[in-house]
Structure 1
Amino acid sequence: MAKVLVVYHSGYGHTQRLAQAVALGADAELLAIDADGQLPEGGWEALREADAIVMGAPTYMGNVSWQFKRFADASSKAWYTQAWKDKLFAGFTNSANLNGDKQSTLDYLFTLAMQHGGLWVGNGVNFHNTKASKRCDANYLGAHAGVMGQTPADAGAHEMSEGDLESARLLGERVAALAAKFKG
């Protein structure tokens, strides 16, 4: 069985819920970046041992949170030794606005994965763009590069769209299935 790791930062709990949904779909371990941008003890070793790494960060001001950026900058040691080369990568984000420049965050995560020599996995879920579409549909926001979640600024993490959470779970399933194929 392939080992999938979900590394993420969450400022208010929304990105954490997406991370939990990805982990549920992938039967993955969660690795939270703390409020100071640090990994818990053993975090770097867990990333080195993973077959696939799914990265998540909230979108703040059109990009990842500074805590995630601190983690990304610290990953230069892994980059130098090519410790993550040929691993599968995927990503997800959440912001308060429907657009919120979330694509910039996914592009950042993609670029980080490419710098590490990784292989990117998109979500593989068609979007819903008809009058019959509902906000609770998976991939309602129409992202293919990763999962985009949207939660109003005054809504708690428990009020997130079920469609966004399902999108994250499906991404986890896809990453795990592909990682098993690559490992097998």
Structure 2
Amino acid sequence: MSTKVAIVYHSGYGHTAVLADKVAQGVRDAGQTPVVLPIESATQDFKPILDAITEADAVVFGAPTYMGDVSGVFKVFADATSAVFFTGGWKDKLAAGFTNSHSFAGDKGHALASLTILAAQHGMNWVNLGVAPPAVTAAERGPETINRVGSFVGVAAQSDNASPEITPPAGDRETARLLGVRVAEAAVRWTRGAQPALSDAA
């Protein structure tokens, strides 16, 4: 039975959506099933997304970094997850995250911290990026470099004010794909480890 990884994200201009697609590719590359859940607006019905996350074995949250934090649309979604919070429906589920902004830093770490806190409030277990920063000089960190920003908590990508077809660059896309692989593989181990315990308790 395939492990399901939900990828729920908001993308203002399409660049964060590129990362979501690469995370999904990584999940598929690991032989598991991605469930891609775009957040379209702050006024939509979030229940289908909440239900899909509940049914998944793991979730990867994604949002652009606007003004030093996750986008307002994603924050509205995060507030709506209180419906699940009060039931403990996501407790012990695996979670991870990614963000994107125009500047190289842009306080993306704060946005990733918001995603980790959201997961922690639900009692979820955070999966970090697991990719070491590049062992090169800053001048050598080109667009093909994996984890070129040097983030540990999750994917921190950088996009220019250009078409999502060309930015974020290849290195950031590959970093997102590797996160998808990591979360999918972790979810397989996590769910398999839980099965004997559930059988013993029955």
Give me the TM-score of the superposition, normalised by structure 1: 0.95
Which of 138, 150, 169 is equivalent to 2:146? 138
The aligned runs of 1:8-87 (5 Å cut-off) are 8-27=9-28, 28-36=34-42, 38=44, 42-87=48-93
Which of 150, 156, 159 is equivalent to 2:163? 156
Larger gyration radius, structure 1 or structure 2: 2
Q: Evaluate the alpha carbon distance shift between residue 37 and residue 164 of structure 1 in structure 2; reply closer, same or farther with a 3 A threshold.
A: farther
Alpha-carbon shift at residue 35 of structure 1 (Å): 2.5
Q: Secondary structure at the match of 1:157?
A: coil
- Equivalents in 2 of 1:2, 1:142: separation in Å? 29
Alpha-carbon shift at residue 79 of structure 1 (Å): 0.5
The aligned runs of 1:170-181 (5 Å cut-off) are 170-181=178-189
Q: Deviations over 1:3-61 (max 9, x none)?
A: 10000000000000000000110131100101235356732211111110000000000
**Which residue of the partner structure matches residue 124 of structure 1?**
130
Q: Evaluate the alpha carbon distance shift between residue 109 and residue 141 of structure 1 in structure 2; reply closer, same or farther with a 3 A threshold.
A: same
List gaps (5 residues or longer) in structure 1. Answer: none
**Which residue of the partner structure matches residue 190 of structure 2?**
182
**Which residue of the partner structure matches residue 173 of structure 2?**
165
- Equivalents in 2 of 1:35, 1:15: separation in Å? 15
Q: Match of 1:71, as an amino acid?
A: F
Q: Secondary structure at the match of 1:110?
A: helix
- Equivalents in 2 of 1:158, 1:37: separation in Å? 28
- Answer yes or no: is the 8 Å Cα contact 2:101–2:159 preserved in 1: yes
- Equivalents in 1 of 2:61, 2:132: separation in Å? 21
- Equivalents in 2 of 1:40, 1:104: separation in Å? 24
- Equivalents in 2 of 1:148, 1:32: separation in Å? 19
**Number of equivalenced pairs:** 183
Q: Secondary structure at the match of 2:132?
A: coil
**Which residue of the partner structure matches residue 200 of structure 2?**
none
Alpha-carbon shift at residue 109 of structure 1 (Å): 0.1
Q: Match of 1:60, as an amino acid?
A: Y
Q: Match of 1:144, as an amino acid?
A: F
Q: Evaluate the alpha carbon distance shift between residue 39 and residue 120 of structure 1 in structure 2; reply closer, same or farther with a 3 A threshold.
A: farther
Q: Deviations over 1:120-160 (max 9, x none)?
A: 001101111413443311101100100011012x2111112
